[in-house]
A and B are shown apart, each in its own frame.
Chain A
Amino acid sequence: MKWYFKIIIFFIILAILVELLAIPLFPNKKNLFKYGFFNSTMFELLNEEENTIDTLMVGDSLIYSSISPTLIYDKYGFTSYDCSLSSQTMKESYQYLTLGIKSQNPKVVFLETNMFFRDPDSNKRKIKDIKKVKYMLPFYVLHNNWKKILGGSDAWIDYNKGFRYIAKFNPAKKSDIESYRKDRRDDKTIIKDENMYYLKKIIELCDEHNIKLILISNPSIKAWSMKKHEIVSKIAKDYNLEWLDLNTLLDIDWVNDTKDKGEHLNHRGAEISTYYVGEYLLKSNLVVSHKNDPKYQKWDRAVELYKENNKETKKEKILIK
């Protein structure tokens, strides 16, 4: 056999092994076969048991750094999940939501409005799209789950439910805080057609499945402006959607409640927005509490693990650097 044929065969076998040996690394094998390797690797919601989550929080990093589903469950008993990726686009949100509706039976969807203003055609975006190739290699993304295989059933519990815990604070600049409070206007703010297209599709999807869609603007000095507020306000009015602009509703301490100079909240800040959303759900009667329901015992354990593991450590400081 010619040597280059040998090499080709070697890599074909390797590629097959890479996919096959990745199977034990997936937390939810049932969903893996149902939704495929790529989706199960990229969209962490698919690791959850089917039809257990009532609220989906869809959006970019402002979702996963502002709303902790575990804390909502702990206080109110409502199950929710942060369906969010870094710099998530409206198109990705639509994909995520489609899968979320297939695998869960949500009653409420919160949609982060910061994505409306993201440029889906930017170079940064294109590079991110190329990097998505890693999700085709679940072994690469999930390789650390070997620890969970050894760690027993508790180890497989996703106690953060899509939320990313950061305790560290990095205060915003005084000038940034002042300009934020002065209702800063950014004249360049526009919504690209593609984003509007996917917004309409998300609205349709929610209507089809009888899901209450609520727009949410999580607190961020860097991402929010009065111009954006006005645009979202118009959209909410036009499409008859409820909207929570937490930038105007909450009083965030931008010295202690942010992890990165005002762009995102840290855990202290996230507690404020999380409990606001939890209270909103409670008052709206859209979802029911699953506390004391034996089917949701894993959620109770998730709360314990969340409190046990989410502490500021020296390792966390290094990872944030």
Chain B
Amino acid sequence: MSYLSIYYLFLVIPAVVIIYSIVPKKFRYIFLLLVSFALFFYISKKLIVILFITILTTYISALFINKLEEKKELLLNNANSEEKKEIKNKFKFKKKLLLIIYILINVSFLVAYKYLNFFSINTNLLLKLLHIDYSFKIIRIVAPIGISFWLLTALSYVIDVYNGKVEAEKNPLKVALYISYFATLIEGPFTRYADIKDSMFAGNNVTYDNLCRGYQRIMFGLFKKMVIADRLNILVKIVFDNYIEFSGFSSLLGTIAYTVMLYMEFSGTMDVVIGSSEILGINIKENFRQPFFSKNISEFWTRWHISLGAWFRDYIFYPISLSKPMKKLTISARKKLGNHFGPLISGSIALFVVWFLNGLWHGAGYTFLAFGLFHFLMILLGNIFTPLIIKICNKLNINRENIIYRVFQSIKMAFLVFIGEIFFRADTMQIALGMIKKIFTDWSIRTGEISSLGLDIYDYIALLIGITFVFVISIFKEKNIDVRNEISKKPVAVRWALYYILIFSIFLLGAFGHGYVPVDPMYADF
């Protein structure tokens, strides 16, 4: 089920909001937990057992780590300085062991459900190459819905407890809700326990203001999905399935269309997630921040799927780059290569691991690995050449803050993102590389090619209207203007007129019914 389906938006959410309002405040989080389990069970049936195991292991591990910490503090109070060191090491080891066991148990689910087939297929290929007459059985298994999201959410909680950033929660139901909260269960974003716990368990009242703001956000998300993403879907399918028949121009158009579609669908879903949570008084951090206004790929990834980037930064990048061997490497490299390139080596190693895992997180396949490594390479090149570019700009008296330079940077950044997304969307590496080759070599547009991409002139008009609308809203957001706040200051007639315009735009321009194929929730399979 998609968060952007009519049933979810206009049946599930209203029903949840009404019952949530009726339930006594102190039991509201339990109601939300039941809704979350019901949603999970509705989609993944008996695989809910995996979710239960994760919840249970998360709850117990965090509690044990906390207990060990308390016990350590108790012992430290009565110990001399030599004993203190021993106690610290002993407890550090115990905590670490517990954390590793916990991570291994839970990551094994992820490996089993998402990567086992990929590894088996590749091992079989290797065995065949080595002429070894053995092959692993390939079993097609369906993964529990949203496993990549709720599992990493659970891991972040235990790691935060381990690092002493949060206290372990004593109420197992609250831990369960944090992991399986229905609004973020399928497509994220990754939440942090410290950020969400207060609003999630407070049982805040549903207010008129929250209801209006929440539904405004939801309708905006629906607009992005139905007017833009669903309309682009046919063009994207046609280009990616038949790229050989098209010119490089159409391949590029298909690639741009895919990136826009992905953004509209995923950020639209996030609007629904954040908007529906807002109605319930639960605060969820933004997962997108106008990514196409970025100057470079590095910045792009701090504005696109922010919570995933933050997760990799906090739980992969920092632990690697700040580890003892890396620190040693940085010190010696700094001596030999200087202050810019010295620290770049350890940082790049950590970055490589991050993007390797990022690619793998998005899917088990070479195209996803290529997607991750392409971004690694682009960021690395950016890091290496930035000083040189600054030097050149300074020599040529180019103002890097100039609007023309900024637009140039954004276009360059967007082009690289489009190329990266080819790996993300293509079914095979052959298709991805074929399309990239076409983009750079084949510029012969054939007669009638554009009209054979599945959209008519009116579809392009609707896209232009839709994208312009989203672009204008993005400019406001970039300038820190809260459009919803501005609307709330207007008289009721103006406010309602704007709401009706938005609703009718979705009705009228929405790409649904005969002739359209709605986009499947793209991140729900991860």
Complex-state Cα separation, A146 to B506, whole angstroms = 13
Which of A7, A18, A143, A151 is in CB contact (< 8 Å) with B513?
A143
User: Can you list, as one digit per residue, whether each of A118-160 has a CB less than 8 Å from chain B (1) or not (0)?
Assistant: 0000000000000000000001110110110011000000000
Which of A21, A147, A314 is in CB contact (< 8 Å) with B454?
A314
Q: Which residues of A contact B499 (CB under 8 A)?
A: 10
The answer to whether the Cβ of A319 comes within 8 Å of any Cβ in the partner chain is yes
Q: Which residues of B contact A8 (CB under 8 A)?
A: none
Q: If the complex has contacts A17-B500, A318-B517, are A147 and B242 also in contact, measured as CB distance less than 8 A?
A: no
Complex-state Cα separation, A6 to B496, whole angstroms = 11
Within 8 A of B (CB), among A1-17: 3, 6-7, 10, 13-14, 17
Q: Which residues of A contact B496 (CB under 8 A)?
A: 10, 13
Q: If the complex has contacts A6-B208, A13-B496, A318-B238, are A147 and B503 also in contact, measured as CB distance less than 8 A?
A: no
Complex-state Cα separation, A64 to B312, whole angstroms = 55
A21/B504 in contact, CB under 8 A: yes
A144/B515 in contact, CB under 8 A: yes
Task: State how many angstroms separate the Cβ of B357 from the closest Cβ of chain A.
Answer: 34
Which of B234, B458, B503, B508 is in CB contact (< 8 Å) with A14?
B503
The answer to whether the Cβ of B133 comes within 8 Å of any Cβ in the partner chain is no
A318/B234 in contact, CB under 8 A: yes
A313/B454 in contact, CB under 8 A: yes
Query: Which residue from chain B places its CB closest to the CB of A155 in the assembled complex?
Result: B458
Task: State how many angstroms separate the Cβ of A131 from the closest Cβ of chain B.
Answer: 12
Q: Which residues of B contact A147 (CB under 8 A)?
A: 456, 458
Q: Which residues of A contact B241 (CB under 8 A)?
A: 314, 318
A318/B458 in contact, CB under 8 A: no
Task: State how many angstroms separate the Cβ of A315 from the closest Cβ of chain B.
Answer: 4
Q: Which residues of A contact B458 (CB under 8 A)?
A: 146-147, 150-151
Complex-state Cα separation, A139 to B208, whole angstroms = 28
Complex-state Cα separation, A14 to B10, whole angstroms = 15
Which of A18, A144, A314 is in CB contact (< 8 Å) with B452?
A314
Q: If the complex has contacts A315-B238, A315-B454, are A143 and B503 also in contact, measured as CB distance less than 8 A?
A: no
The answer to whether the Cβ of B334 comes within 8 Å of any Cβ in the partner chain is no
B454/A17 in contact, CB under 8 A: no
Complex-state Cα separation, A114 to B272, whole angstroms = 45
User: Can you list, as one digit per residue, whether each of B78-98 has a CB less than 8 Å from chain A (1) or not (0)?
Assistant: 000000000000000000000
Q: Which residues of B contact A315 (CB under 8 A)?
A: 234, 238, 454, 515
Q: Which residues of B contact A14 (CB under 8 A)?
A: 500, 503
B507/A318 in contact, CB under 8 A: no
How many chain A residues sit at the interface, stated as a range, is 20 to 34
Complex-state Cα separation, A151 to B241, whole angstroms = 30
Query: Which residue from chain A places its CB closest to the CB of B207 in the assembled complex?
Result: A3
Which of B208, B242, B504, B514 is in CB contact (< 8 Å) with A314?
B242
A314/B238 in contact, CB under 8 A: yes
Q: Which residues of A contact B504 (CB under 8 A)?
A: 17, 21
Q: Which residues of A contact B509 (CB under 8 A)?
A: 146
The answer to whether the Cβ of B214 comes within 8 Å of any Cβ in the partner chain is no
User: Can you list, as one digit per residue, whether each of A281-321 has a CB less than 8 Å from chain B (1) or not (0)?
Assistant: 00000000000000000000000000000000111001100
The answer to whether the Cβ of B510 comes within 8 Å of any Cβ in the partner chain is yes
Which of B208, B461, B507 is in CB contact (< 8 Å) with A143?
B507
Query: Which residue from chain B places its CB closest to the CB of A141 in the assembled complex?
Result: B513
Complex-state Cα separation, A139 to B506, whole angstroms = 11
Task: State how many angstroms separate the Cβ of B6 from the closest Cβ of chain A.
Answer: 10
Q: Which residues of B contact A7 (CB under 8 A)?
A: 211
Which of A13, A144, A146, A318 is in CB contact (< 8 Å) with B237?
A318
Q: Which residues of A contact B513 (CB under 8 A)?
A: 140-141, 143-144
Complex-state Cα separation, A4 to B211, whole angstroms = 11
Complex-state Cα separation, A139 to B211, whole angstroms = 25
Name the residue in A3, A6, A144, A151 with the highest tally of chain B Cβ atoms < 10 Å from its Cβ.
A144
Q: Which residues of B contact A6 (CB under 8 A)?
A: 208
Within 8 A of B (CB), among A91-135: none
Q: Which residues of B contact A150 (CB under 8 A)?
A: 458, 461
B454/A140 in contact, CB under 8 A: no
Task: State how many angstroms separate the Cβ of A150 from the closest Cβ of chain B.
Answer: 6
Complex-state Cα separation, A315 to B242, whole angstroms = 11
B510/A143 in contact, CB under 8 A: yes
Q: Which residues of A contact B512 (CB under 8 A)?
A: 143
Query: Which residue from chain A places its CB closest to the CB of B503 in the assembled complex?
Result: A14
Complex-state Cα separation, A234 to B446, whole angstroms = 59
Task: State how many angstroms separate the Cβ of A21 from the closest Cβ of chain B.
Answer: 7
Which of B208, B503, B515 is in CB contact (< 8 Å) with A319?
B515
Q: Which residues of A contact B238 (CB under 8 A)?
A: 314-315, 318
Complex-state Cα separation, A18 to B452, whole angstroms = 34
Q: Which residues of B contact A151 (CB under 8 A)?
A: 458
Name the residue in A3, A17, A141, A315 with the highest tally of chain B Cβ atoms < 10 Å from its Cβ.
A315
Task: State how many angstroms separate the Cβ of B518 from the closest Cβ of chain A.
Answer: 12
Name the residue in B237, B507, B509, B514 with the highest tally of chain A Cβ atoms < 10 Å from its Cβ.
B507
The 8 A-B residue pairs with the shortest CB-CB distance, nearest first, are A3-B208, A315-B454, A147-B458, A314-B238, A318-B237, A139-B507, A146-B508, A143-B508
| 6 residue pairs bridging A and B, Cβ less than 8 Å apart | A7-B211, A143-B508, A144-B514, A151-B458, A313-B454, A318-B237
Interface residues in chain B, defined as those with a beta carbon under 8 Å from any beta carbon in chain A: 208, 211, 234, 237-238, 241-242, 452, 454, 456, 458, 461, 496, 499-500, 503-504, 507-510, 512-515, 517
Given A150-B458, A318-B517, 20 other A-B residues pairs in contact with their CB atoms under 8 A: A6-B208, A10-B496, A13-B496, A14-B500, A18-B507, A21-B504, A139-B507, A140-B507, A143-B508, A143-B512, A144-B515, A146-B458, A147-B458, A150-B461, A314-B452, A314-B454, A318-B237, A318-B238, A318-B454, A319-B515
